[in-house]
Chain A
Amino acid sequence: MKHLISVQDLSRTDTLHILDTARELDRVTNGGIKLLPTLRGRTVVNLFYEDSTRTRLSFERAAKRLSADVVTVSAKGSSLSKGESLKDTALTLNAMGADMIVVRHPSPGAAHRLAHAGWLDSRVLNAGDGKHEHPTQALADALTIRARLRPEAVDFDGLTIGIVGDVLHSRVARSNIFLLASLGANVVVIGPPTLLPVRIENWPCTVSYSLDAALPELDVIMMLRVQQERMNGTFFPSELEYSRSFGLNRSRAAALPTHAIVMHPGPMNRGVEITAEVADGTRSVITEQVANGLKVRMAIMYLLIGGDVSVA
């Protein structure tokens, strides 16, 4: 593994290796170690073409905890906002000797281009490329599910995981569907057809238009954020109608099996796709997802640039 662009590049063994490494890092850091010397002398560049403080901070903290030198280049107030091309930025970062580029970009495939267009030698870690993928979030979610529901098992056979809402525009959903299915989970995608990609029935998941019908079967329910800009468009009639049909509230949460957990990749629209009560309730593992995001990012950074980077 040279880059991490898409969960579809990961074999099941790769995924389990990352999850095991993240779990071990969790143990080490919970044991009290806040700073590991592992990436001393390595440079990690966070290249963020989209403003996302949460994600950017998570990657920064992951790199810093491994003692890497961290450079953050954000869209605001930099050459990125002045229209410098992705290629020119890549050439500059390459000249700086970046060992790894963590890139978030609004264009699907931007991370892939950065890794494969021949612009640079660095390892590339996709931190979200448009509607394409957000692999570290899916790995964090898998780590969370594993810790909660499958602490001893190797995979997710027998788990039914519902992903609810705007799959069409969600990179988190894409990465999760493919990753969780590859681990053996039964993934159910739930939402209005306007928010589901065409031919999703050919993906490794089943499709339902009724959240209420699906609830009793779910071991995990993952609520997707409804982007503000879709609300008054042509995707669904109104915010109110959306949350009536696809929002997770107390009564819906009560229809879940008792062991089921509630997830949300954040940031949440409280009151739209999830009520505050459920988001903060006992079934919610949303804060664990954030903590696991850090561990997974550390694990991938270690695995991608901890060793000899001259080999693939």
Chain B
Amino acid sequence: MTQPLNTASSGPSRTGSRIVADPDDISRALRRLAHQVVENVKDVTNLVILGIPTRGVPLAQRLAKNIGEIEGVAVPVGSLDVTLFRDDLRMRPSKALEQTLIPDVGFDDKIVILVDDVLFSGRTIRAALDALNEYGRPAVVQLAVLVDRGHRELPIRADYVGKNLPTSLSENVSVHLSEIDSIDQVVIHSANASTEGTA
């Protein structure tokens, strides 16, 4: 799980970790994303939001709540575990499966917004598209991420980006959310720091 952070070490540092977004930054970013979605998607009653576990799920819930508050409707939200669809499973030991919860309304002919914490190689999203394809046939699929750190390996881009964060490949980015990590923040670790809980 996530390493406890030494908040004293915030700010630029060549080794160790630095915090690049605090709770206010994150909630501002999510409010902005909600407005962008509302603006972009004309009919929010046709919307289904699916978080990609682990940290995509609370982000999806927050995003759905924000949209709901703007529009005064309840936006269906669920989770989509993509582990079984990954093409890079063999790079590491088998990991535990996380919950897939498709809202009762399903998503055939709906606008599905996939939500993940960090967009990196794009392989998670490719797996998510494959998984989605097995469950039904959405009218449109869009992607929202809190952080885009670059270094794509596939022709995939996000429709909604909370924060663009240029990084080196030797760095790791981790998103911490209060629902899971008891604090909201985005942290960059240099390579020799722990890589647990990072993307």
Contacts and interface: CB of A to CB of B under 8 A. Distances in A.
Contacts of B41: none
Interface in B85-123: 85, 87, 89-100, 102
A27 B81 CA distance: 11
A33 B84 CA distance: 11
Contact of A20 (B94, B96, B102, B130): B96
Contacts of B85: 36-38
A178 interface: no
A180 B85 CA distance: 32
A312 to B, nearest CB: 9
Contacts of A24: 81, 97-100
A1 B85 CA distance: 22
A32 B96 CA distance: 21
B96 A307 contact: no
B134 interface: yes
Interface in A34-51: 35-38
Given A32-B134, A37-B85, A38-B85, A27 B100 contact: yes
Contacts of B130: 37
Interface residues of A, number: 23
Interface residues of B, number: 22
Interface in B120-153: 130-131, 134-136
Interface in A296-312: 302-304, 306-309, 311
Contacts of A306: 84, 89, 94
Interface string A223-235: 0000000000000
B135 A307 contact: no
A25 interface: yes
A81 to B, nearest CB: 35
B90 A25 contact: no
Contacts of A36: 84-85, 134
Contacts of B84: 25, 28, 36-38, 66, 302, 306
B93 A311 contact: yes
Main secondary structure of the interface of B (DSSP, over half): loop
Contacts of A66: 84
Nearest to A22: B97
Contacts of B94: 302-304, 306-307
Contacts of B99: 24, 27
B79 to A, nearest CB: 11
Contacts of A303: 94
Contact of B93 (A21, A32, A37, A308): A308
A31 B102 contact: yes
A38 B83 CA distance: 8
B92 A308 contact: yes
B102 A307 contact: no
B122 to A, nearest CB: 17
B96 A17 contact: yes
A58 B130 CA distance: 26
Contact of B90 (A21, A31, A35, A308): A308
A28 B100 contact: yes
Contacts of A35: 134
B145 to A, nearest CB: 24
B154 to A, nearest CB: 16
Nearest to A37: B85
B94 to A, nearest CB: 4
Nearest to A301: B94
A31 B105 CA distance: 13
The 4 closest A-B pairs by CB, nearest first: A307-B94, A24-B97, A306-B94, A307-B93
10 contacts: A24-B81, A33-B134, A36-B84, A37-B130, A302-B84, A302-B97, A304-B94, A307-B93, A308-B93, A309-B90
Interface of B: 81, 84-85, 87, 89-100, 102, 130-131, 134-136
Given A24-B81, A25-B84, A308-B92, 17 more contacts: A20-B96, A20-B97, A21-B96, A24-B97, A24-B98, A32-B136, A33-B135, A35-B134, A36-B85, A37-B84, A37-B85, A38-B84, A38-B89, A307-B90, A307-B92, A307-B95, A309-B90
